Structure formats: structure tokens, C-alpha cells
Amino acid sequence: MTATSHQRALSGDTARLQPVRGQVPPGRRERGAGAYPWAMSGAIALAVIGASLSLNGVLRGWAWLLPVITVVMTVALTLALLRALRAQPLLVTLGGLVSLVLILVFTFFRQQSFAGFLPTADTMSQLRRLIRRAGDTVVSESAPVAPNIGIVLVTCACLGLVVVLMDALAVPLGMPVTSGIGLLAILVVPATIKPLSVGLLGFLATAAGYLLILAFSQWYAPDSRVQSGATGNSGHLRRTAVTGIIALATALVLPLAIPGFDHGTFPQGSRLNPWGSSNGLNPMITLGNSLRNPSGEGRITYATSSSRPVYLRSVTIDRFEGETWAPDDRSFARLVGPDNITTPYEVQGEVIRELTSIDTGQFTSPYLPTPFAPEAVTGLSGRWTWDPSTLTIQAENTTSRNQQYIVFSSIPRLTVQSLARATEQPRDIPAEFSQIPNNLPDSIRQTANNVAGSGSPFAKALAIQRYLRSAEFTYSLQAPIQNGYDGNGISVLADFLDRKSGYCVHFSSAMAVMARLQGIPSRIAIGYAPGRLTGDTMALAGQGSFPEFEVDARDAHAWPELYFEGLGWVAFEPTPSRGVVPDYASEASTPSGISSNIQEDDLLAVPDPAPSAAPPVPVPAGGQAAQGASNGILGVLYGSAVVLFVALLLASPRLVRAGIRARRLAPGVSSRTPGRSAKGAALAWAELKDLAKDYGFRTTPSETPRLFSTRLRHSKAIGEPGGLDDDGHEAVIALTGDFERQEFGRPGDAGTAPTAERIAAVRSSLKGNARLLVRLRADWLPPSVMSRWGSLVSWPFRMVGRGAVSIGRALSRTWRRVIRSVHWRSWQQ
Amino acid sequence: MDAKRHSAVDEPLVQRQGFPAVPAAGNQLNGHKPRMMETEDFRDASERILRAINTVIDGKSEAAKLALTVLLAQGHLLVEDVPGVGKTLLAKTLARTIDCSVSRIQFTPDLLPSDVTGVSIYNQSSRLFEFRPGAVFANIVIGDEINRASAKTQSALLECMEEHQVTVDGQSYRLDEPFMVVATQNPIEMEGTYPLPEAQRDRFMARISMGYPDKESEIEMLETHQAVSPLARVVSVVTADDVAAMIATVQQVYVSPSIKEYTVAIGRASRDSARLRLGASPRSLLQLLRAAKATAALDGRDFVLPDDVIAVAEPVLAHRIILDRKAASSGDTPQSVIRGIISGIPVSQDVVAGGRQRDQLRRSG
């Protein structure tokens, strides 16, 4: 028989077998019904938990996550179990709601319930209490709020309801796409509240869960026509790509057209932010984010006649009450017109007057950064008010954006001696600056007493500062986050004093609180550390030209201001390796006793908070200073390691594929052991099948080698016979023949064949005929490797699913038997 | 057929006086080692036969090939179709292309078993009973409209088919080799007929239906068959000896263990199938494999591929299985059920799994 008649006979077979492939194999439907509820519930639970990850930042820390996972998983498992037992759809949803109530009672009201999970009247009264508490939290605190039990209860209940809702939408109603509304409802909360919107982790986890829901609903579609796989048409991919591109373009372009969505791209930064970039509601909270943000936004430049660069101060915090500290509004006391600012207290002694010219550039905030203490501000546009007791300047109808203004400021000439003399009790100061928080832990009080010792108020202040700048404390932007005390408030403060690691917010609030405990009025100033020289100079009217400094978000800073009678408010610097320790507050100058005013010769040391800036302060390991020189090398190392890792990761399917190919086609494989010489044909065949799979040519296990090869040669994948692809066709024929002889022929009558060349010929034919996308996929994400990995990854899930299904079946069988025996008994009686 | 005749099977064959000489070549097949045929010669011979058949019957090369396959696999063929599509012509042509003895039995209700098998007649002159062989003593026996005969007569023929021998009056007579029965059956006029029961259909290796020719073939047929019968032009292209050698070659075709497993898997799946009331019998699997061997040999190979098994599965199995009533009413045919079964059986596991697992299998085993 000639080759052509083979072909005809086989193509006849192909035609005869074709209609069968369209039918669903009998086993498949049954298996799908078994795993479907589990897969679907699992995907929904994953999506909801993923979306809830983005709530970190709305709720502080991660402590709330465990109850959330418990509740979501319980509800999802209940739904899946009921569905696996083939309960009515309505019953499934009702069962989900009941399980939600039970698990909530079990988690939150175990004491007030019957048998640990049945709600009672006590439960209801406790529930009212918790809900009121949650309401209080929502109204009174700004994000991130402390995860108290009320808020966590409400969160868990909402998430559980979302699971039930999504399940009802996705499964019985058959609208898996619409079920995404539930996820959207969760994401809206962090998107509007958190300064950085949803966050990458939450977004990715949500997206993954949602895609899983869509995928499962398609794989297990009750209507087999919906199932993918039967038709692997390319139109799908193209439509998907076009839709994706349009959506992406819209997401990128639309924010530019809508005011308010003013920087960044989705998912980060596209939140509605009425004050623009650098400020949220509470500067205390955004401060840490600003410091951690390496981009350095909100650049402000200034030049000052002062002998050293100045701290720019925008807002103060003076009420240390509640879970979260925030600047006081005090709008009742504000006066309009910052061109003549007077202090309510008396300053005795000599006063140094300074002139500072500031350009805020893109920095946007309702508060105006000024050096302390401003006497007059000129050149502002818009309507501004100032607060006599805190001397903060706030906009009424504008922001600090693009303001150029000149601040006249005055500070008393401070010396160690003048400060040391200020021992009188503060009189001219409102009581709120001395108020000690009522929920203060004893540990802080003890620490304050131990550290401050006895002496003049100034000595006590110095002692506290010395304690905080000692080697015991390290400066770290990350430690508070890792240990869950990022933010501010009394509880955070206790954690900070315990861990002894944090950043300026922690140091300054610690010093402010401890000062109040020692009877010194205090407040926390928030603004910017001095910053760096730009190298330019700026001319100040009538004062000559002065060097220009710049600060940006990386210089965001908080420091305590302490009040001494007769001298007014004095700034301290308890944060190690940040800012500049004023001379009057410097340890070195204290014992010397020399009258040291703010010295001209110290000016040079100032511009950058480099290691040399604070020699007496031991450099902490994790501090900013330590990173200086070694930072470069380490950064390069880390960077290259990351790049290498990413490159390896990207290439790994390709590398694995190439490795498999090389192993199969190695000439040694067939000749290494005698008697196995024919194995080469089988390996080459496996390679051929994988190659075809890589280029999107599907195969079924019931297909014979010859049928496969015939189909391959008649498909578009390998091109027309004759011409360029003739080699490929011949190679396929030869490979098929060898493999058939080896697999089905008499043992030991196969010769060696140039398999590598043949595979190469097939590959080049496939490559030449594939479209670009297919080619790229075959090279970088070969489906043969990916599917193997996929089955490897999904193995545990399959096992768990199978186990759960069999348990469910056993349960239902037992249940049926029980029912039957009950019926039998009742019938007998 | 009574018990006595059956017990006679094992007795030595006795050549009665007056028994017509049988071709020597045919008898050799049983006793002596048969002559094998080279691949080239085999292909030549089979191509000659097929070409000859195709000149007579237009557009039915599939049926012709299947008929030859059954001949080489030492089976019997049941041709079932409406009248006038060339059932008998196919059988006759096949017989005519081979230089061998052919007999034709037109089955009717009053046909007696002895008409088929032969009868002992008392010879007055020699005063001995002389065996007069019946129509079944030929290399190729064409049984026309087998369903018209009575059950008794059918049985007589079927015994011959199975045993390749005839037993009359306690004496067994070996039939010539090659021996093949080509029976035809008309499914339309079933009134007053005795359709073959399942057990007897099982004796036939394959059942084919001719089907109507396509348009071109039909036009061509009208032209060429006008004047003379096309059969008249057919000359034999191979000898019975050649056919015996071809059969020997087919018997030597290698069947790998995985093919045996595959065949058995088909059989088991057919017995487990919910759509079938009766699955494939072990005998049918044996015949399936024999037909697959013949197909492989006709394809020029000395080993069987899964494709060979698939190619003959429908004609070999379809007439033996019985559909479940539900499946039958839902429009399934035996053919479609067999196709469904085959599409559910993986060809061989380790091939699909790929290199590494295969290595391990080889090493461990």
C-alpha cells in the first residue's frame, strides 16, 4: 500500500471519529457535578478573603483577619456542603445565612449564648452594645481605626453576607459575572478611605479570586455548549485582548480628564482626594507613608536669613485623647489674616528675628508650612486663618499649592542657662496642653518618672530626650508596621516604649506625653525637617541672597514642642538620626556651661542629617544613617538579584521545556544501555506530542498515534505539504512510523533514527506557521509544561475536593438510611 | 444435528470412496507448515485482487477491502443490505478473482440440511454408501438470502462454518482451505423468514452493508454494465495456493501486548456500557484481533496498530452487540455506540504520559 492510500484510509477514520468527539464523555458530567460546589465556594471564599486583605489600613494591624477568615470559610463550606448534598437553591442560601449567624455567635458572643452558638436574649443586648461601639468608632475615629470587637463583628457580618450574596448570584442564578458586585462592595471601603486606595495585595487577591469564579463557572457550566475547550477559536483571544486594551486605556486616560483623580494610576492613587497629593485627613497617619515613599513628592524650596536651616511646621497636635490623635480643629478660635500674628504668652529676653521665603510648589495641604514662631506672613493668595494658641495657619478657601510667601518669624535667643532658669510653673497657657490622657498605661508613667529624674523642667526635658536618643532606641520605618503598632495613640505608644523601635511620630509623641507627665506643657508639631541645600541662592528683599534649601515628602517629620514659662514653646529633637538637635537641647553643650547661642559655626554641619550630624548619638543599625554608603552597593546587589530572579522566573517554563527536550533527544539516551535502543522513538514521540501541544494542537488520550499524526499533518499548524513545510511533514511521518514500530512492532527490530533533526524540522514548520502570540506562548509559557505544573499545583486541591465529596456522599447516604429506618419504624407501628 | 455427530468430530477423518479430489494445496494448510509470502508478493497479490474487484463493483472499495480482510483472517462474511446493491456480485467477484472452487446456495424455506452438507447415497453397483458432497464443499460458499432457509438448514451451514468440516452419518469430512462463507441477508422482506439469531450471527466475522453507490459510480455502472455482465471479464488473479500463503502470512503478524490490552479494553467497555444489553463476546474479540491482523498485513505491516483494530471494530462488533431499549429509542445505532466506546479508551497510557514515567516503567519492569 502506498502512502497516499494510508492517508485516505486514515482520513476516513478521522471523519468517522469526528462526531464522537463532540459528545460529552459519559464520565465527565458526573465528576463535574461533584466538584462544582466545592470549587465555586472555594473561589468565592478566596475572592472575599482577598478583597478583605485590602481592609488593612482601614482597620489597623492584622488581628481582625483571623475572625474574618473563620467566618468566610465557614459560610462558604456550609454553602458547598449543602449544594453537594443537592439541597434546594433557596435552602442553600438560607443555610448559608443560618451558618453565618451561628459562626458569628460562636466567635463573638460565646459567653452570652446558649451552648456556645445559639443566640439568646443576652446575645441581642451584647450585639446592640457592640454595634453602638462600632458606630462610635466609625463616627469618631479616622482610618486606620483600631480593630475593636464591634468593628470586627460588623466587618465579619458584612463579609459573610457578601459570600452568601455572591454565591446566590453565581450559582443558582447563574450570573457569575454579576457576583463581582459583592467584591466591589468590599473594595469600595478601602478605595475611598485609605490614602493609597485598595493596595496591590488586596487588588491582586481579589482579581485572582474573581477570575477563579469565572473560570469555574465556565468549566463546570451546566450547559455544555458554554464549556470552553470544544472550540479553541482565536476570535475569543482577540476580543479579550481588545477589551482589555480599551479598559486599560480608559483607566489610564479617564483620571486625567476628571479633576480629583489627580495622580497615579489604578489601583493606586486614583482615589478621590480633595486635598491633592501629600495629605490625607490626618497628617499623623500619612507621615509614615510619606517617609516610606521613596519618590519625594511635594517639593518645597525655601531660603532663610536664619543662621541655620529651619524646621517648617504646618500643624500641631495637642489633644492626646482617643485611639487616634489628630490635629484639633479649633476653628472657633481662629483669626483671619496672618499678616499680623501675636502670641498670647510673654517672651522675655532677647529675640532673634528671621525672614524666610518659601515656595510650596506642588505641595498641597490645608496648612501652611512656616518656621516657628511666625509673626507675619505676606504674599499669600486666598483667605487664611491662624490660631493664636498653636500659631498654625490654615486655609479657608484655598490650599498651600503654588504659594510663594515670606514669613517673618521670631524666636527667643535660647541658651542652656536661660532655659535652666525657666523653672516657674506655666501660667499663660491653656490647660489642654497639660492634660494627661486618662487611659494612660502605668508603664509609660513609670518610664517617665524613671527617666526624667528630678530637677528643673528643662533638665527633665533633656533627660527624656537623652533617653529617647540613647542606644536603646533604634530608628526604623518598618518595625512598627511589622509589629503592628504603626500609627499613633496611647496604645501604640506603650508598644513603642516596649519595642524601642520606631520613627519620628513615635519618638515625638513619647516625649510629648512624658513631658506632660512631668508637668511640662507639650504638643507635637508636624512638618518638615530642614532638608538639603539645592546649591542655588535666593535673594531676599533687603537681606541679600541666601542659600536655597529643599524639602520633600521624605523630610516629613514630627517633633515635640515643650512650653517653658517666659520662653514660650521650644522645639526638641528626640528622634535619633533625624533632623538637627538644637544647641540648647544638645547634650554636649549642657555641661560646658558656656553661653552658647545658636552658633554660626554649626551651620555647616546642618544641611543633611548625615551620620556626622549627630556624633554623640550612637548610630542605630537600622537607622537612616547606617544606610548611607553601604546602601549603594547593597542596593545594586539586591537590584541585580531581583532582576536575575525575575528573569529566571520568566524564563523558567522555557528553561524547563528546553531541558525536557534536550533530555529526550540526547543521542546518549538510546545508546547508553543496550536493549533499549528503541526507546529513542518513544521519547521523540512524546516530544512531538508536547511540541504540538505547545503550538495549540489539541490531542485526546483515545487518539491513536497515526490518527494524531494525520490530523497534525492536515491541520494549519504545520502548514501545507509540499514547499517549505515538506521537511516537517516528512519528519512527522517518519517519527510516527518509528514510534509505531517501537510501540507496537516486534521487540528489537528498530534502528536508530535521527530524531533530533526530525524534531527540529517539525519545530521549524510549526514555528513558521504559527501566529506571533502562539509562537511567543510556545516559547515562553509552553502549555505542555504549564499544564504539567498546573496539575501538580492543583493536586492537593483535587485530593481535598475528592475527599470532601466522598465524605459528603457518605453523610448523605447515612442520612438517607436514617430517614429510611425512621420511616420503616413508623410504618411498623 | 444430534449428539452422535458431535462426538464424531474427534475421530480420524475418513476419505470415502468417490469423494471428489480436493485441491492438494488447500489440504496442506492443516498438516504441513504453510508457505509464507514475502511482504512484496503479499502486497502485489492483495492489490491485484482489490483492483479486479473494483473493476466490477464501482465505488465500493471499502466493502471489497473488508471482504478480502475477512477472507485472509479466515472468517466469514455477512452482507446485509436491500436488494440490488450488489451483495451477490461482491461475493461472486471475490470468488472469481481467486482461482478456487465456488459454490452458491440459494436459500429457500424448503432447502434441506443435506442439500448443504451432502448426503450418502447407496451405490447399487459397488454396494456401498457413497458420500455425495453438498454445496458447502468449496473454497468460497455464497449463501444467498440465508434468512430464507429454515433454522435447521441454517444450523447445518453454521456448523460447517465453525468447524470447517462436515459430519454426515458419523463421518467427518474436512472442508477445503481456504474456506469462506459469504452469506447475504435482506433486511427488508422479513416476512416468512428466519432471521439469524444472535448466537449464529456471532459466527460471522464481519457484517457489512453495501450501501448505495455514489452518483459518479452509479453513472459509470450504467455505462459499463449495459451489454455484458462484468463478471464475465473477471479472470482469476491469484491461486488458492497464494491465498493460503497469504493467510499464513496474516497469522504471523505480530500483536504487541498493548494491542491485546487495547482490544480487551474495548470488549470490557462494551460489556460495561449502559447503552448495551449484550456486549462483545470473547470470540468476537478474537475475531476482531484476527481481522486487525489481516488489516495490518493488507497495509503492508507485520505488526498491528490500534488503528487496525479501530478500522475493523465496527464491522466486526456491530452485529454482535444488542442495544439497550433506551439507547435504541434515543436514536443510537450499534455503530455509534461502538464509536463512542472507542473514543473513550486511551490508546496506551504510558505513551501519553511521556518520557520520564516511561523510563521508570521500563527500569522497574
Give tens-digit pLDDT for A701-721: 788 888 888 888 888 777 776
What one-letter code names the amino acid at A504? C
A148 touches chain B (CB under 8 A): no
How far, rounded to the nearest angstrom, does the alpha carbon of residue B295 sit from its chain's CA centroid?
A: 13
Instruction: Evaluate whether residue B356 is within a structural domain.
Output: no
B26 touches chain A (CB under 8 A): no
- pLDDT tens string A368-400: 888 887 888 888 888 888 888 788 888 777 777
Residue B15 has what pLDDT?
38
Instruction: Name residue B99's beta-bridge partners.
Output: B239
Query: Do residue B69 and residue B196 come from a single domain?
Result: yes
Residue A322 has what pLDDT?
63
Query: Do residue B275 and residue B172 come from a single domain?
Result: no
Residue of B nearest to A663 (CA): B355
Residue B7 has what pLDDT?
36
Range of the domain at B165: 1-14+23-219+230-252
Chain B residues whose CB is inside 8 A of the A1 CB are 43, 47, 298-300
Indicate whether A15 pLDDT > 50: no
Mean pLDDT across A249-257: 73
Residue of A nearest to B40 (CA): A1
Query: Do residue B99 and residue B136 come from a single domain?
Result: yes
Ranges A622-636, A770-784, B307-321: which has the least confidence: A622-636
Residue B334 has what pLDDT?
84
Instruction: Evaluate whether residue B136 is within a structural domain.
Output: yes
Query: Do residue B115 and residue B60 come from a single domain?
Result: yes
Beta strand segments in chain B, E = 77-80, 98-99, 102-106, 118-123, 128-133, 140-144, 165-168, 171-174, 180-185, 206-208, 238-239, 276-278, 322-323
Mean pLDDT across B4-21: 38
For CA atoms B155, B156, B159, B164, the dihedral sign is: negative
Instruction: Evaluate whether residue B244 is within a structural domain.
Output: yes
Backbone φ and ψ for B167, nearest 5 degrees, come out as -120, 115
Residue A29 has what pLDDT?
40
CB atoms within 10 A of CB A260: 11
ipTM above 0.85, yes or no: no
Is B303 within 8 Å of A741 when comparing Cβ atoms? yes
3-state class of A648 per DSSP?
Answer: helix
Residue of A nearest to B311 (CA): A13
Is B258 within 8 Å of A743 when comparing Cβ atoms? yes
Is A702 within 8 Å of B352 when comparing Cβ atoms? no
- Structural contact between residues A194 and A204, judged by C-beta atoms closer than 8 angstroms: no
Q: What region, left, alpha or beta, does residue A330 occupy, with left being phi > 0 and alpha being psi -120 to 50 degrees?
A: left
- Structural contact between residues B80 and B147, judged by C-beta atoms closer than 8 angstroms: no
HSE-CB at A191 with a 13 A cutoff on CA atoms is: 15
Residue A821 pLDDT grade (very low, low, confident, very high; cuts 50, 70, 90): confident
Q: What is the spatial distance between Cα A453 and Cα A512, in angstroms, rounded to a whole number?
A: 16
Higher pLDDT, A594 or A256: A256
Select the residue from B310, B324, B326, B350 to test the A interface by mutation, using most A Cβ atoms within 10 A.
B310
Higher pLDDT, A452 or A721: A452
Is B347 within 8 Å of A741 when comparing Cβ atoms? no
Query: Do residue B214 and residue B270 come from a single domain?
Result: no
Residue A72 has what pLDDT?
93
Backbone φ and ψ for A601, nearest 5 degrees, come out as -75, -10
Mean pLDDT across A68-74: 92
Which residues have CB under 8 Å from A788's CB, separation 6+? none
Which helix (H) or strand (E) segment is A708 a member of?
A: helix A705-714
Q: What is the spatial distance between Cα B210 and Cα B300, in angstroms, rounded to a whole number?
A: 25
Query: Do residue B30 and residue B169 come from a single domain?
Result: yes
In terms of average pLDDT, the best of B127-136, B149-158, B264-273 is: B264-273
Which residues have CB under 8 Å from A658's CB, separation 6+? none
Chain A residues whose CB is inside 8 A of the B346 CB are 701-702
Q: Cell numbers of A413, please?
A: 535667643
Smallest CA-to-CA distance from A414 within A579, A572, A617 is with A572
Place of cell 533617653: A467
Residue A78 pLDDT grade (very low, low, confident, very high; cuts 50, 70, 90): very high
Query: Do residue B182 and residue B76 come from a single domain?
Result: yes
In terms of average pLDDT, the best of A137-146, A211-220, A673-682 is: A211-220
HSE-CB at A530 with a 13 A cutoff on CA atoms is: 27
Indicate whether A331 pLDDT > 50: yes
Residue A3 has what pLDDT?
40
Higher pLDDT, A458 or A328: A458
Q: Which of residues 662-701 of A touch B (CB under 8 A)?
A: 663-664, 676, 679, 682-683, 685-687, 689-690, 700-701
Q: What is the spatial distance between Cα A307 and Cα A602, in angstroms, rounded to a whole number?
A: 9
Cβ-nearest to B303 among A685, A689, A744: A744
Residue of B nearest to A664 (CA): B355
CA of A216: how far to CAs of A77, A178, A221, A798, in Å? 16, 15, 8, 14
Instruction: Name residue A501's beta-bridge partners.
Output: A474
Ranges A92-96, A440-444, A627-631, A801-805: which has the least confidence: A627-631
pLDDT above 90 coverage of chain A, percent: 4
pLDDT above 90 coverage of chain B, percent: 3
Higher pLDDT, A735 or B357: A735
- pLDDT tens string A354-374: 888 888 877 777 788 888 878
B330 touches chain A (CB under 8 A): no
Indicate whether B218 pLDDT > 70: yes
- pLDDT tens string A560-574: 888 887 778 888 888
- pLDDT tens string B271-294: 888 888 888 888 889 999 999 999
Query: Do residue B209 and residue B147 come from a single domain?
Result: yes
Is B351 within 8 Å of A686 when comparing Cβ atoms? yes
Query: Do residue B271 and residue B196 come from a single domain?
Result: no
Instruction: Name residue B181's beta-bridge partners.
Output: B141
Cβ-nearest to B339 among A10, A16, A689: A16
Place of cell 475572592: A47
Is B307 within 8 Å of A706 when comparing Cβ atoms? yes
Q: What is the spatial distance between Cα A507 and Cα A573, in angstroms, rounded to a whole number?
A: 9
Mean pLDDT across A802-812: 88
Q: What is the spatial distance between Cα B339 and Cα A18, in angstroms, rounded to a whole number?
A: 10
CB pairs under 8 A between A and B: 100
Is A686 within 8 Å of B354 when comparing Cβ atoms? yes
A737 touches chain B (CB under 8 A): no
- pLDDT tens string A478-506: 777 666 676 666 777 778 888 888 888 88
Instruction: Evaluate whether residue B177 is within a structural domain.
Output: yes
- DSSP letter assigned to residue A698: -
Ranges A34-43, A449-458, A702-711: which has the least confidence: A449-458
On average, the pLDDT of chain A sits at 74
Is B256 within 8 Å of A744 when comparing Cβ atoms? yes
B41 touches chain A (CB under 8 A): no
On average, the pLDDT of chain B sits at 78
Residue A580 pLDDT grade (very low, low, confident, very high; cuts 50, 70, 90): low
CB atoms within 10 A of CB A397: 7
Q: What is the CATH number of the domain that holds B175?
A: 3.40.50.300
**At the topology level of CATH, where does A283-586+605-622 sit?**
C8orf32 fold (3.10.620)
Q: What is the CATH number of the domain that holds B300?
A: 1.10.8.80
Chain B residues whose CB is inside 8 A of the A783 CB are none
Select the residue from A685, A704, A784, A787 to test the B interface by mutation, using most B Cβ atoms within 10 A.
A704
Smallest CA-to-CA distance from B334 within B276, B283, B288 is with B276
Indicate whether A612 pLDDT > 60: no
Residue B11 has what pLDDT?
37
- pLDDT tens string A19-37: 333 343 443 344 444 788 8
B305 touches chain A (CB under 8 A): yes
Q: Cell numbers of B132, please?
A: 455425495
Residue A523 has what pLDDT?
86
Instruction: Evaluate whether residue B5 is within a structural domain.
Output: yes
Query: Do residue B139 and residue B192 come from a single domain?
Result: yes
3-state class of A254 per DSSP?
Answer: helix
Instruction: Name residue A634's beta-bridge partners.
Output: none
Q: What is the spatial distance between Cα A65 and Cα A71, in angstroms, rounded to a whole number?
A: 10
Higher pLDDT, B351 or B303: B303
Residue B10 has what pLDDT?
38
Residue A632 has what pLDDT?
56
Cβ-nearest to B303 among A704, A739, A745: A745
pLDDT above 70 coverage of chain A, percent: 74
Beta strand segments in B147-290, E = 165-168, 171-174, 180-185, 206-208, 238-239, 276-278
Cβ-nearest to B358 among A682, A690, A745: A682
Smallest CA-to-CA distance from A508 within A313, A280, A310 is with A313
What one-letter code names the amino acid at A209? G
For CA atoms B259, B264, B269, B275, the dihedral sign is: positive
What one-letter code names the amino acid at A678? A
Residue A115 has what pLDDT?
80
Q: What is the spatial distance between Cα A274 and Cα B59, in angstroms, rounded to a whole number?
A: 84
Which residues have CB under 8 Å from B126's CB, separation 6+? B17
Q: What is the spatial distance between Cα B266 and Cα A188, in angstroms, rounded to a whole number?
A: 58
Residue A69 has what pLDDT?
93
Residue A271 pLDDT grade (very low, low, confident, very high; cuts 50, 70, 90): very low
Beta strand segments in A62-110, E = none
Indicate whether A345 pLDDT > 90: no
Q: What is the spatial distance between Cα A237 and Cα A296, in angstroms, rounded to a whole number?
A: 41
Residue A359 has what pLDDT?
85
- Structural contact between residues A653 and A778, judged by C-beta atoms closer than 8 angstroms: no
Q: Say how many domains are in chain B.
A: 2
Mean pLDDT across A623-647: 63
Higher pLDDT, A585 or A531: A531
Query: Do residue B197 and residue B313 come from a single domain?
Result: no
Count of all residues that appear for chain A in the document: 829
Which helix (H) or strand (E) segment is A409 a member of?
A: strand A404-412
Q: What is the spatial distance between Cα B155 and Cα B144, in angstroms, rounded to a whole number?
A: 15
How far, rounded to the nearest angstrom, does the alpha carbon of residue A298 sit from its chain's CA centroid?
A: 23
CB atoms within 10 A of CB A474: 20
Indicate whether A228 pLDDT > 70: no
- pLDDT tens string B227-236: 677 777 788 8
DSSP string, A437-476: PTT--HHHHHHHHHHH-SS-HHHHHHHHHHHHTSTT-EE-
Query: Do residue B324 and residue B204 come from a single domain?
Result: no
Q: What is the spatial distance between Cα A590 and Cα A156, in angstroms, rounded to a whole number?
A: 56
Mean pLDDT across B41-52: 86
Indicate whether B45 pLDDT > 70: yes
Indicate whether A232 pLDDT > 80: no
Residue A71 pLDDT grade (very low, low, confident, very high; cuts 50, 70, 90): very high
Q: Cell numbers of A414, please?
A: 535660647
Residue A159 has what pLDDT?
92
pTM exceeds 0.80, yes or no: no
Residue A70 has what pLDDT?
92
- Structural contact between residues A420 and A458, judged by C-beta atoms closer than 8 angstroms: yes
Rounded to a whole number of angstroms, the CA Rg of chain B reads: 22
Chain A residues whose CB is inside 8 A of the B211 CB are none
Indicate whether B353 pLDDT > 60: no
